[in-house]
Structure 1
Amino acid sequence: MADIKQLPTREQVDSSLTWDLTPIYQDRQAFNQAFDQVAKQIEALPELQGKLARSSKDLVQVIDAMMAAIRPAEKLYVYASLKHDQDTTDADNQALSGRTQSLLTKLESNLAWFEPELLAVESKTLDQWIQTDSGLKPYEHYLRTITDEREHVLTPAAEKLLAQAGDALNASSNTFDVLNDADLEFPVVEDDDGGTVQLSQGIYDQLIQSTKPEVRQMAFKQLYAVYHQFRHTLAATLSGNVKTHNFEASVHHYQDARQAAMNANHIPESVFDSLVTSVNDHLPLLHRYVALRKQILKLPELHMYDLYTPITGEPKLSYTFDEAKAEALRALAVLGPDYLSHVQEAFDSRWIDVVENKGKRSGAYSSGMYDTAPYILLNWQDNLESLFTLVHEMGHSMHSYYTTHNQPYQYGDYSIFVAEIASTTNETLLTDYLLNKYDDKQVQAFVLNHYLDGFKGTVFRQTQFAEFEHFIHQQDAAGQPLTADYLSQYYLELNKKYYGKDVISDPEIADEWARIPHFYYNYYVYQYATGFAAANTLAQRINSGEPAKREAYLNYLKSGSSDYPINVMRKAGVDMTQTAYLDQAFAEFEKRLNQFETLAKTM
């Protein structure tokens, strides 16, 4: 019997392929010392209560003291999260993460009085303070974002009670994370070479792209067999999470959870509705694309597990991590030398955790805070998709870098609404670079296929997720129990609508909701779709070669949360309250679909 390929343990991974967290804390002792100091600061925060309304000077002192506690607490959280995610099975890392989450719950509880007390200050008084006290000027927009929500903030006692309940309210989400990243055991399957490999989230993403139908079918069925086995438990965790969102929205006097989530970023709900309407109007383009996939692959039936394999066959482009770094620098050169210097810094300073190991969190992300590097987690495979993932996450990290180096701490982060735009703009620039670099028809077809798949997976698929997410929140609010059967039945019908008659919606896909971590993020997924669409416009502006348009983009990266997200994007050149950016995105999809169809006829 052939040897089974096993993931390495954390200790077996070459240190050059792991992130270096010592600049955050040199060792566990340094972390513990910082933890104890922050804990003392948090304990002292209630002493500030009742002081901010006395004068503008008192308000400045209160805010400064708050920031002095929040900032190091955030640093503790980032470190603990990164340590946990590099090996979720490590008991010490689990304990570290748990301690830090409890500390943050305490922080929220001890600051629950702040917003109600601030909102008790009359608007005219607060406006006068801001205009006359230079110490408040740096906090003007920060204060506006709070006072805009006057009607949704409860009494100090009520807000404190909710903050104290944070661990309990997040229990369903935390349970899903443990199940999905650590406890679910997947079977051994056959890989492309005929060998056996332990199935994992990362390996599944690789096998589902196999050019061998039997390999991707087996990976698909075996993965979903595991989720189906635990579907009732996973329905309970998802239902509990939805109930948390609906409860928090209700007690804060929002109409529903969607309004609460979008209000947090000052995004009009019409942005969500326009996206869903526009995507549904353009579903015939998706149906046309999947029908073309069936035709080119010469498949008698097109299944859900056939939607990820390259239509053009074996990839003509593959990259080791070192090769991908060099290619990323070339693709992003259009953003200018300053941008490239910081990308190189990320490569040279071990900001990236590269390869998959046992217990490592699945997927990829960029994470950090004002006083840390913007670290990147990957689960690297030597393929084009991983190059796109690297460039995508680098977009997040460069967004963070420019923000933290151009804004004060209170504006040193950015809304999730604009976060996905920076990352997807990088992906779009990479697509343009590859299409311009290669004349070979096979390579052109492969890159076009990748773009079309990316659009399918980001604009169409994430909007499908957004529809499902909104539906389950509405159903729970109406008193409908979110059982596994109910969730799967709706999801299957939604899937059929999106992919059309040329795709067989296999019964396994009905359980896809059970494995999507973003359903626990509270109206997050729609922003992938809006971000991808906006990125098309921004990439075209950058590629125009006009310095002013590139500078407008870099200024967006530097803006952080110093203005409302919609305003930040307007300054960058995209008005997301209008539908023009969506129309432009679908026009680009259709243009590249036409190009792909033409190429396919000549190959």
Structure 2
Amino acid sequence: MGQLLERKEVPVEHRWNLEDLYPNQKAWDQDYQKVKDSLAKISAFEGKLSDPAAVKQCFELEDEVSIHTERLYVYANMKHHEDTAEPTYQALSDKARKISVEMGEALSFISPEILSLSEEQLKNLVNHPDLSFYKKSLDDMIRQKPHTLSKEQEALLAQAGNMSGAPSTIFGMLNNADLKFPKIKNENGEEVELTHGSYIQFLESRNREVRKNAFQAVYGTYRGQKNTIAATLSANINKNMFYAKARKYPSVLEMSLFGDKIDKEVYTNLVDTIHDSLPELQRYLKLRKKLLKVDELHMYDLFAPLVEEFKMDITYQQAKEEIKKSLAPLGDNYLKILQDGFDNHWIDVYENKNKRNGAYSWGAYGTHPYVLLNHKDNLNSMFTLAHEMGHAIHSYLSDETQEYRYAQYTIFLAEVASTLNEALLMDYLLKRVTDPKEKLYLLTYYADQFRTTVFRQTMFAEFEKITHEKAEQGEALTPQEFSQIYYDLNKLYHGKDMVVDQDIEMEWARIPHFYNSFYVYKYATGFSAATSFAKQILDEGQPAVDRYLGFLKSGGSDYSLNILQRAGVDMSSPEPIKQAMSVFSSLLDQMEEITK
């Protein structure tokens, strides 16, 4: 690829149009001042929130301030992401962050004050006709009441918040700044630096020696820091236990699930159902061994490409056309919104100098969503576009249907809409492919998504569950204990036909998600729910499409499990995970057929 363009050189048709948020800097500054003025008015409600009329006015002002602050924040950061080296927008982003913090502080009295009311007063607020719109907000607050402490204790816990981030911060500094990997030889025999970024590329190498050396070099480096990292992870678990105990939760797991009102069974169902499906994962690993033509399958072979280089050149224009065809089952209105996004500058398409890397969908209530891409002409980029437009249309329909307060969907639901688009795109591509080599390429791409998003993330979730339970029973978590638990899980998941190299016992030491506890299971449940939706849409047609569109329009107007259940996916039962596993199984059938 040639020189990267400067931001100002990027053709207008490849840029998003942030003027739909603010036409110019002056408009942003005016809105900023408006928020500043409104924040000063909020304190007037302090001490008055036993009166329904005051609560209504306070909530209305809270929503108005939040809408404008969100817009200020989104615009400033998206301008910053266009060119991260541009000082004007570095400063604007910082200014927006500060006003967001100020807003949080200004609003922080509302919940504790309402919760300090007597049972009688609370009942009066919840059942007051003028506050019927805010019933879910008030119910949510009341649900938190048993876990909310006195004003003084809450203040003390808030102060402890600065310390509670320490394990994650220390791990981040050690992992990203201080940890240095040795040099290894690449495919051409040249000594090159091994980094976090290049590690996966080495694991995807066709040269097995390169894969093995990278694998051993990474885990050898972590082994050298095992005592420090074990102490850091153990400190994070102790911090979680402190908060669970202080807030009167039976366990850290239940505290983590409480916010989304997720039953513990959702978590345990996932682990148990995936255990029942491990023979399918192990069947895939057997296939992988056969396709790689190796006597033994090692842990460093899991990312190696299975199909002789099959190059799929897909331009951005072609990707858009393929995605439109693949999402036709979702109906004309869905396709119309998709086309709007393509035609009306929702998307920032290509990489330019200093542009933020990766991809995301983002936006502010009251305007359409936006999508940032760094598009390359390949299969992965086409799936990324389908994925991010799934998020964008979810936000579009939620915002269009719900008032601001209930428009934002939870993280538990977020990955469903994006992954469903990928599932429909994959189904479409597999149905029309004629070249067996291309078909095998697509099947392995999809099978690996199941392996990494469902099986691997569930194994992570199980590791978190076991380590927290051991700590809660008073057991010490030494580096040896962490490694033993992790190694045993790898043996269980990967089965007897695979060589589970001893080095993998150190992988727990490099997973940053373990510092955001009991989070990774949402990847597996989201993927399973999306796969279940896709299966229903393809099998049933319109009735399933209508239920799914109802899900997209629900935003955060109810609890996550209720929203999914109404749409036909009951995550409190093992059924959606079993449906996802049946799709995985059918991929393996097709792969076995081609490779007979």
So what's the TM-score if we normalise by structure 1? 0.85
**1:46 corresponds to which residue?**
43
**2:424 corresponds to which residue?**
429
**1:319 corresponds to which residue?**
314
**Structure 2 gap ranges (5+):** none
Range that drifts further, 581-590 or 352-361: 352-361
1:272-351 mapped onto 2 (5 Å cutoff)? 272-351=267-346
Q: Report Cα offsets for 1:519-570 as digits up to 9, x if no partner.
A: 3433221111112222222112212363222111011000011111111111
Matched residues in 2 for 1:379 and 1:227: separation? 32
**2:546 corresponds to which residue?**
551
- Supply the AA of the counterpart residue of 2:242: F
Distance 1:97 1:448, change over 3 A: same
Are positions 1:63 and 2:59 aligned together?
A: yes
Are positions 1:142 and 2:137 aligned together?
A: yes
- Partner SS state of residue 371, structure 2: strand
Asked if 2 retains the 8 angstrom alpha-carbon contact of 1:211 and 1:314, the reply is no
Instruction: Choose which of 436, 439, 447 in structure 2 pairs with 1:441.
Output: 436
Asked if 2 retains the 8 angstrom alpha-carbon contact of 1:356 and 1:379, the reply is yes
Matched residues in 1 for 2:479 and 2:83: separation? 30
Matched residues in 2 for 1:10 and 1:197: separation? 29
Q: Report Cα offsets for 1:132-186 as digits up to 9, x if no partner.
A: 53x4222222222222222112233433454465555445546666777788788
- Partner SS state of residue 136, structure 1: helix
Offset at 1:130? 5.0
Matched residues in 2 for 1:326 and 1:230: separation? 49
Range that drifts further, 457-466 or 250-259: 250-259
- Supply the AA of the counterpart residue of 1:300: D
Instruction: Choose which of 405, 423, 430 in structure 2 pairs with 1:410.
Output: 405
- Partner SS state of residue 47, structure 2: coil
Matched residues in 1 for 2:190 and 2:367: separation? 42
**Structure 1 gap ranges (5+):** none
- Partner SS state of residue 425, structure 2: helix
Distance 1:194 1:352, change over 3 A: farther
Asked if 1 retains the 8 angstrom alpha-carbon contact of 2:569 and 2:576, the reply is yes
Are positions 1:398 and 2:366 aligned together?
A: no
**1:119 corresponds to which residue?**
115
Matched residues in 2 for 1:13 and 1:594: separation? 49
Range that drifts further, 84-93 or 257-266: 84-93
Offset at 1:238? 4.8
Instruction: Choose which of 428, 448, 451 in structure 2 pairs with 1:453.
Output: 448
Range that drifts further, 13-22 or 580-589: 13-22
Q: Report Cα offsets for 1:424-459 as digits up to 9, x if no partner.
A: 211211221111111322222222222221111111
**1:265 corresponds to which residue?**
260
Asked if 1 retains the 8 angstrom alpha-carbon contact of 2:419 and 2:527, the reply is yes
Matched residues in 2 for 1:590 and 1:125: separation? 55
Q: Report Cα offsets for 1:333-378 as digits up to 9, x if no partner.
A: 2212221232233334444455567877665443334245433344
Distance 1:494 1:78, change over 3 A: farther
**2:507 corresponds to which residue?**
512
- Supply the AA of the counterpart residue of 2:142: T
Matched residues in 2 for 1:250 and 1:358: separation? 49
Asked if 1 retains the 8 angstrom alpha-carbon contact of 2:10 and 2:352, the reply is no
Matched residues in 2 for 1:481 and 1:38: separation? 50
1:92-131 mapped onto 2 (5 Å cutoff)? 101=97, 103-122=99-118, 125-131=121-127
Q: Report Cα offsets for 1:207-259 as digits up to 9, x if no partner.
A: 54344434544555566677667766665665555454443333222122221
Offset at 1:286? 1.1
Distance 1:529 1:62, change over 3 A: same
Matched residues in 2 for 1:341 and 1:447: separation? 28
Matched residues in 2 for 1:394 and 1:229: separation? 43
Matched residues in 2 for 1:236 and 1:32: separation? 47
- Supply the AA of the counterpart residue of 2:495: G
Matched residues in 2 for 1:63 and 1:305: separation? 54
**1:463 corresponds to which residue?**
458
Matched residues in 1 for 2:10 and 2:232: separation? 36
**2:381 corresponds to which residue?**
386
- Partner SS state of residue 561, structure 1: coil
- Supply the AA of the counterpart residue of 2:50: A
Range that drifts further, 383-392 or 356-365: 356-365
So what's the TM-score if we normalise by structure 2? 0.85
- Supply the AA of the counterpart residue of 1:311: L
How many corresponding residue pairs? 595
Offset at 1:82? 4.6
Matched residues in 2 for 1:359 and 1:238: separation? 34
Offset at 1:403? 0.6
Matched residues in 2 for 1:225 and 1:361: separation? 32
Q: Report Cα offsets for 1:41-91 as digits up to 9, x if no partner.
A: 44553332211102x211101111222233333334444555666677888
- Alpha-carbon RMSD across the aligned residues, in angstroms, is 3.9
Range that drifts further, 535-544 or 406-415: 535-544
Distance 1:261 1:564, change over 3 A: same
- Partner SS state of residue 498, structure 2: coil
- Partner SS state of residue 366, structure 1: strand
Distance 1:438 1:347, change over 3 A: same
Matched residues in 1 for 2:333 and 2:349: separation? 24
Instruction: Choose which of 58, 68, 71 in structure 2 pairs with 1:75.
Output: 71
Asked if 1 retains the 8 angstrom alpha-carbon contact of 2:7 and 2:83, the reply is no
Offset at 1:13? 8.6
Q: Report Cα offsets for 1:293-344 as digits up to 9, x if no partner.
A: 1122101232223222342322353434343232222221221222123223
